[in-house]
Structure 1
Amino acid sequence: MPKNAAEPVVRPPRELNRVIFRKLLPLLIGAYIISFLDRTNIGIAKEQLQIDLGISATAYGIGAGLFFITYSLAEIPSNLILHRVGARFWITRIMITWGLISAGMAFVQGEWSFYVMRMLLGAAEAGLFPGVMYFLTQWFTRADRAKANGLFLLGVSAASILGPPLGGLLLGLDGLGGMHGWQWMFLIEGLPACLLAFVVWKKLPDRPDRAKFLTAAEAEDLQRRIAAEDEAGAEASGTHSMRQVWRDKQILLVVAVYLSQQIAVYALSYFLPSIIGTYGELSTLQIGLLTSVPWIFAGLGAFLVPRFATSGGRSRNLISVTMVGICVGFALGAVSGPVVGLIGFCLGAFSFFAMQPILFTFPASRLSGATLAGGIAFVNTIGLFGGFLGPYVMGAMEDLTGSKLSGLWFVVGVCAVGTALSFFLKYGEKRS
């Protein structure tokens, strides 16, 4: 028998990555499509909720943002639980609870029940995004993580492309069975999360050594290479505990940049339909279709840009350039007419998810193990307060000025600060 006949077969890293992408990403992207659809579908129903329930623009902005308060507060414990019990069980639990609560949004009666249900939805969904970000660090080495993160974020773009037209159609069911169109929308869009949860339970492996599509030797080799990278990064940074994470200036820089980006993302997610509604006499379906256009460009950004983030210097430069793109895009949206304004929103949306998957590789270059799980959740926790602040300021400025565009200048200012801070990001260097 030849000497190497008994040696375990390990496919080359590039081939192995293709297999992992094919087996994991479609399922995770599907989950994120549904999650983003369920958290933002109130955007297309804003005008109907105001008419049917008497909810003001400020109250709408508060309700939209309250989701992120409870979401943020539950993120770190959620990710630490996922680290302990495994992604398969915990993501399944997240999906079932948020699906039921999202469908329950059909039964809100006014401002306070709207607030309560949004807060419950945030608590139920908490942990999905940071959980997947942590989960992917267990499957991909540093050079491939930005690409994996970017593909996962295609779920946001897909939801934002499909959601508004679908919501517009479902709003057309108004009066069917004595129910409002927005009630049908919440019911129909909430239940798919529960159904996909059972597929996640059956198909998602917790880690490489439990994956049927990898040989034992491949799983062992992959885990060894990832562990060596993560331990080297944590050793170089000197950050080994959550207390140190909170004092690591590089992690705090990531948090600040992410906060500014999230303010922009959710300002656009929740208020773009009503902004487009000012462009002329448009039906809910037409508004939905036009709302989808910037998110097509967001998907292109997530697909095209992160693959070039193969080093710390490139990653920082790409983040800085795309943050400038957000500032320019929102400024154009604030000062221009329908055509140029929509082009500006397309530029801003392209930049959103070109930079976000790259940004989340920075914590993974400095942390490992449970500290990495908690650190990613910490970044997302503080950053997602932007999901409250963006919609709140947009709604308050609309009520104050009567213009749906006035809040965009707040977004431009915050993102300009985020752009300046991004120039100081460093990859896996000693904690300062």
Structure 2
Amino acid sequence: MEMDIEKRTLRRISWRIVPFIMLLYFIAYIDRVNIGFAALTMKEDLGFTASILGFGAGIFFWGYFLFEVPSNIVLHKVGARLWIARVMVTWGIISGAMAFVEGPTSFYVIRFLLGAAEAGFFPGIILYLSYWFPARHRAGVTALFMAAAPISTALGSPISAALLEMHGVMGLAGWQWLFIIEAVPAFILGVAVFFFMTDKPEQAKWLKEDERTWLIQTMAEENSRKAADAKHGILSGLANPRVLALAMIYFGTSAGLYTLGIWAPQIIKQLGVSSMTVGFLNAIPPIISVIAMVWWSRHSDRTGERTWHVILACLAAAVGLVVAAGSNSIIGLIAALTLVNIGISCAKPPLWSMPTAFLSGAAAATGIATINSIGNLGGFVGPAMIGWTKDQTGSFAGGLYFVSGLLVLSAVLTLVLARSAKPVTVTANATAR
């Protein structure tokens, strides 16, 4: 009977929550990285060098860094429904303003403001999932949520490439239409969040009474079990050594993720193909990585193991970047980028299952936000370094080697963390997926 309630409840909350938050992240990721496609023509129109493009694309994460922790604290206090709605409406407006960039200064300012507006969304969703799903199911659910990033690349790449073809419509460039049209869904969904999202299980009228009771009791028991050594206060989340270690691990994975999101179209384009071809080729690696991510995270949930699932994935991505740096053929390059996509996508769900295993309450809100804000600075360092090395050497290779090194460092830090602290694992049982 208990197993039946668990299955029914998890199935119901999964269908209610996961597709919706995937859609939100799908739009969020497109608005973060569509600069990579816009740059195919925007760069020439505005006279941007690779360094300007890399710095401007990456400065998004400084806005993210400065406002991430405060944003997640507010979310914990006022609820996800209200705060995520605010986040999405704000970033939709600012993302659309990218269409009116006129030079480096306005480019930097709007990208920074976009990061500040979006701060709190991703860690807020990770925190939100910890309210609804027991730890042993969390990596699999997190993987489904995070699958929206590679899916958005797969579907968004051809769409972004097609929008560039609107050049000249109503006197606007194609890249301007790209920013305007792709900003609209964020605003609309922000309004939808306010009416659709439920803050806590106690408020879930769409659950049956026995399902709601089971979920509330299960989450309460889980929180009480970790209460003995879990940290709950805001400062505990900020200062916990394991939080800082996870932030540095996430730094490398973020550098890899946004290297792909921002520079992959440019790297493919240099082999002499059209923008539309770039759109379709850039969609291939993330499609494959989604399948790998879901399988890998479910394997992590089933075995209860997190550490080696992160390490092996980071090393695979590092190898892929090295191979990509030396590839001179379309087939070789797409194969290498596929390996990078698989590695980065597979590392993130088990990594994000770690902090909620030893943090709760306000500490979870600040700890998750700290990991995401510091770690996402890799999204500045990676793309900025690639742009700088491209201007200095005329090649993407040096920057790709650099980001590969960051991923190796992430793997090493994960091993050190596992050896110096109690293993961050969950108990696998017959009901774990």
Report how far residue 271 of structure 1 moved: 0.5
2:140 partner letter: K
Is the aligned partner of 1:17 residue 2:7? Answer: no
Amino acid at match of 1:380: N
Q: Are the equivalent residues in 2 in contact too, given 1:230–1:365 (CA < 8 A)?
A: no
In structure 2, what is the equivalent of residue 76 of structure 1?
69
Moved over 6 A (4+): none
| Residue identity opposite 2:74 in structure 1 | I
Q: CA deviation at 1:10?
A: 9.6
Q: CA shift at 1:296, angstroms? A: 1.1
Q: Does 1:116 align with 2:95?
A: no
User: What does 1:226-305 align with in structure 2 at a 5 Å threshold?
Assistant: 226-237=219-230, 239-280=231-272, 282-305=273-296
Deviations 1:131-170 (A, max 9, x none): 0000000000010000111000011011111122111100
Q: In 2, are the aligned partners of 1:10 and 1:217 still within 8 Å (CA)? A: no
Question: Once the 2 structures are TM-superposed, how far is the Cα of residue 393 of structure 1 from its aligned partner?
Answer: 0.3
1:347 correspondence with 2:354: no
Q: Say if 1:230 and 1:367, in contact at 8 Å, map to a contact too.
A: no
Verify: 1:136 aligned to 2:129, yes or no: yes
SS in 2 for 1:109: coil
* Structure 2 contact 138–301 (Cα < 8 Å) conserved: no
Shift of 1:241: 2.8
- Taking the TM superposition and a 5 Å limit, the aligned residue runs for 1:130-169 are 130-169=123-162
- In the alignment, the residues of structure 1 paired with residue 63 and residue 327 of structure 2 have an alpha-carbon distance, to the nearest angstrom, of 36
Q: Which whole-Å CA distance do the structure 1 matches of 2:84 and 2:401 have between them?
A: 37
Cα distance, 1:252 vs. partner? 2.2
Q: Give the whole-Å Cα distance in 2 for the aligned partners of 1:414 and 1:392.
A: 14
Query: Which residue in 2 is equivalent to 1:194?
Result: 187
> Does residue 1:336 correspond to 2:330, yes or no?
no
AA aligned to 1:273 is P
Aligned counterpart in structure 2 of residue 95 of structure 1, from 71, 88, 92:
88
Do the aligned partners of 1:209 and 1:216 also contact (CA within 8 Å) in 2? no
String of CA shifts for 1:265-320, please: whole Å, max 9, x gaps: 1111110001001222x211101111111111221232211111237862111111
Return 145-154 or 205-214, whichever deviates more: 205-214
Aligned length: 422
Q: Once the two structures are superposed, what CA deviation does each residue of 1:173-215 show, in whole Å capped at 9, x if it has no partner?
A: 1111111000111110001111112222221111112112213
Unaligned runs of 5+ in 2: 425-433
Work out the percentage of aligned pairs sharing the same amino acid. Answer: 36
Residue 399 of structure 1 corresponds to 391
**Contact 1:96 / 1:193 at 8 angstroms: preserved in 2?**
yes
- Aligned in 2, Cα 1:203/1:245: closer, same or farther, shift over 3 Å? closer
1:409-432 Cα shifts (integer Å, max 9, x gaps): 00111111111111134498499x
Answer whether contact 2:325 2:396 (CA < 8 A) is retained: no
Shift of residue 220 of structure 1?
3.1
Counterpart pick for 1:319 among 310, 331, 336 = 310
Structure-1-length-normalised TM-score: 0.93
Name the SS for the 2:348 alignment partner.
Answer: helix
Q: In the alignment, is the contact (CA less than 8 A) between 2:237 and 2:362 conserved in 1? A: no
3-state SS of paired residue (1:55):
coil
* Secondary structure in structure 2 of the residue aligned to 1:355: helix
The alignment partner of 1:44 has SS state of helix
Q: Distance in 2 between matches of 1:287 and 1:405?
A: 19
2:97 aligns with one of 99, 104, 122: 104
- Checking the alignment, whether the CA contact within 8 Å between 2:307 and 2:415 is kept in structure 1 is yes
Equivalent residue in structure 2 for 1:409, among 401, 404, 423: 401
Note closer, same or farther for the CA distance 1:430–1:249 as it changes in structure 2 (3 Å cut): farther
Is the 8 Å Cα contact of residues 24 and 189 (structure 2) preserved in structure 1?
yes
Q: Does 1:209 align with 2:202?
A: yes
Gap regions ≥5 residues in structure 1:
1-7
CA distance in 1, matches of 2:237, 2:25: 27
Deviations 1:368-418, CA, capped at 9 Å, x for gaps? 111111111011011010011111101001001011232100011111111
Q: Is the Cα–Cα contact under 8 Å of residues 297 and 347 in structure 1 kept in the other structure?
A: no
